A and B are shown apart, each in its own frame.
Chain A
Amino acid sequence: MNKNHLPLFEVNVGSEAKVSELLSMGLSRRRMLDLGLIPGTIINVIRKSPLGDPVAYNIRGALIALRKEEAKQILVSKIN
């Protein structure tokens, strides 16, 4: 696995990342794809909820909350 890639969950609030790979399969994968999470999609980490989970992300113009289990399955590369 490329060292520059990390799970989306580990990206800090305020940072930007680019999707490199989806680790989930089956229905979860399908749901991620439906949300627009394809390789190359830029994600902005907007804010974490009080308990740290879920986290709000800006995905293609929509504010989407993803749980830790979901965000762990999305591999990204940091942009800034």
Chain B
Amino acid sequence: MNLTCKTCPKIALNQNFNIKLEDDNELVIALAGNPNVGKSTVFNALTGLNQHTGNWPGKTVSNARGNYNYKDKKFILVDLPGTYSLLANSVEEQVARDFICFGKPDTTIVVTDATCLERNLNIVLQIMELTDKIVLCVNLMDEAKRKGILVDIKKLEEELGIPVVATIARKGKGLNELMNKTYNIAIGIETTSPKQIEYPKIIEDKIDKISEKLQGISKNRLNTRWVALRLLEGDATMLESINKFALDREDAYNEGGTCIYGY
């Protein structure tokens, strides 16, 4: 299978994740975050009745997809399962991870709960390591205010290096700004510089070695640093996913077939 043409990431989206795009004017946005943060509220507010639910291909995890128009573009919003982390402890986490890592949405919106930001930031930081096309949505601002919690949005933006939008999704507040930031990141008129986590030298060295091998067989289809980290952690499901979504079959065999497994 020749995977070098421009539209091929879109073909991958179709085959692997069941997302059919009609033309290049459509942008795919992933909606991620912990359970119970108002992800569905954001999803419903943005897509209205233009949505349908089903399952992720081959899994029993439900999947909601909808669309909305903003400025000159049509957006397909994909509601990922609510997860505390992307580290593949469960099918939900694997589905969310595979979509962001291999489905490569044009932007990922991470919805968080302003009343317990610390716990929510776990997945935000993980997604920041995976992609720089990310917008942080701090939701439930009314609940936070009620509990006497003030969130310094500007400071969060500075510290994280990504756009942060405060919302009260159930009242529709902040959603315009959310769509605006998402639009800017998705089409590339605004870029982010997510704060990178640096690991101890011994780990960084291994990351470099593994990344090099990955680069060789995946031809830029992978965030090799992130994948290297997952492999170092011993995440076996990662190998399956790479095999399924990112390897160019011909190259894998030319490199001796066992290169990634034999490291």
Contact = CB atoms under 8 A, between A and B. Distances in A.
Interface of A: 26-27, 30-31, 34-36, 60-62
Contact of A30 (B89, B116, B118): B89
B87 A36 contact: no
B62 interface: no
B118 A36 contact: yes
A33 to B, nearest CB: 8
Given A60-B118, A62-B116, 12 more contacts: A27-B89, A30-B87, A30-B89, A34-B85, A34-B89, A34-B122, A35-B84, A36-B119, A36-B122, A61-B116, A61-B119, A62-B119
B118 A34 contact: no
Interface in B85-132: 85, 87, 89, 116, 118-119, 122
A21 B43 CA distance: 40
Per DSSP, chain B at the interface is loop
5 contacts: A27-B89, A31-B89, A36-B119, A61-B118, A61-B119
Interface residues of B, number: 9
Contacts of A26: 234
Contacts of B116: 61-62
Interface of B: 84-85, 87, 89, 116, 118-119, 122, 234
Contacts of B85: 30, 34
Contacts of B118: 36, 60-61
B89 A60 contact: no
Contacts of A35: 84, 119
Nearest to B235: A30
B210 to A, nearest CB: 20
Nearest to A31: B89
B82 to A, nearest CB: 13
Contacts of A31: 89
A60 B119 contact: yes
A34 B121 CA distance: 10
Per CB-CB distance, the 10 closest pairs between chain A and chain B, nearest first, are: A34-B85, A34-B84, A27-B89, A30-B87, A61-B116, A31-B89, A30-B89, A62-B119, A36-B119, A60-B118
A26 B235 CA distance: 9
Which of A30, A36, A62 counts the most chain B CB atoms within 10 A?
A30
B245 to A, nearest CB: 22
Nearest to A26: B234
A31 B87 CA distance: 9
Contacts of B122: 34, 36
A31 to B, nearest CB: 6
